[in-house]
Amino acid sequence: MSESIEELIREGEIQIEGRLVDASNATLLGKVRDDISVIYKPIAGERPLWDFPTGNLASREVAAYELSRLGGFGLVPFTVLRNGPYGIGAVQQWIDTDENFDVVSYAQSQDTQLRKMALFDAIINNTDRKYGHILRSDSGRLFGCDHGVTFHEDDKLRTVIWQFAGSPFTADEMIQIRFLQKELPGWELHHYLSVTELAALDARLKMLAETGVFPFPSEDWPAIPWPPF
């Protein structure tokens, strides 16, 4: 039986082909097979941040994938924490995108996939949802990338997607939030996040369920990441 894409990304040898020079941390483009490209972010290449633990961004990338998968969002490409040419890091499946996609116009729309991303970001407390982190595949499916600065215990939501703020959740969205509340204790996110961060995640889910609406920007934190790309 041939190996699946996920098995190859999890176990295959990574051949480095280049570096994304605009990224603030070491972000390497590689392949695990001629037709399977990946993004590899070694922990050794992470730049220290004042408000996140050193050497922990790769773990948050994986935690975001796991929550997206288990919560039924389907927004984060397959991501694992594994060894690579420069040590342990996050390895994520590369998404081929539509080069004609106007991400700025799209990010201000009422698209249902974008609404799903807005809810996902509120749950994971994404502090860096830039336009460049919104991807649309050639088939029209929406993906999000760069989730290293997420799951902070303090409210740090910053995003270019604020048009849903104050909108009531649909019945399906409420079901999704309550499902996450119920299933959270059984997930193995403790491999990637601290006890305090997991407690904050649970508190955010409770707050969203109680308010029943998309959150508004915080008055104590910049609402939009800068630069926005």
Per residue of the chain (229 residues), give pLDDT as tens. 357 999 999 999 999 999 998 888 999 999 999 999 999 999 999 999 999 999 999 999 999 999 999 999 999 999 999 999 999 999 999 999 988 899 999 999 999 999 999 999 999 999 999 999 999 998 999 999 999 999 999 999 999 999 999 999 999 999 999 999 999 888 889 999 999 999 999 999 999 999 999 999 998 889 999 999 9
> Residue 227: is the preceding peptide bond cis (ω within 30°)?
yes
Question: Which pTM does this prediction carry?
Answer: 0.96
User: Which two tokens mark 42?
Assistant: 């070694």
Residue 228 lies in a domain: no
Q: Is 78 exposed, middle or buried (0-12, 13-18, 19+ CB in 10 A)?
A: middle
pLDDT at residue 24 in the model: 84
Neighbours of 118 (CB within 10 A): 22
pLDDT at residue 2 in the model: 53
Q: What is the domain range of residue 45?
A: 5-211
pLDDT at residue 11 in the model: 95
CATH number at residue 73: 1.10.510
Q: Are 123 and 173 in contact (CB under 8 A)?
A: no
DSSP characters over 1-48:
-PPPHHHHHHHSPPEEEEE-TTSSS--EEEEEETTEEEEEEEGGGPPP
Q: Which whole-number Å values give the CA distances from 114 to 22, 131, 141, 179, in the listed order?
A: 24, 12, 10, 20
Residue 199 lies in a domain: yes
Residue 219 lies in a domain: no
Which residue from 225, 227, 125, 215 is spatially nearest to 162, judged by alpha carbons?
215
Residue 224 lies in a domain: no
Task: Say how many domains are in the chain.
Answer: 1
Q: Which whole-number Å values give the CA distances from 171 to 3, 143, 165, 212, in the listed order?
A: 39, 23, 17, 10
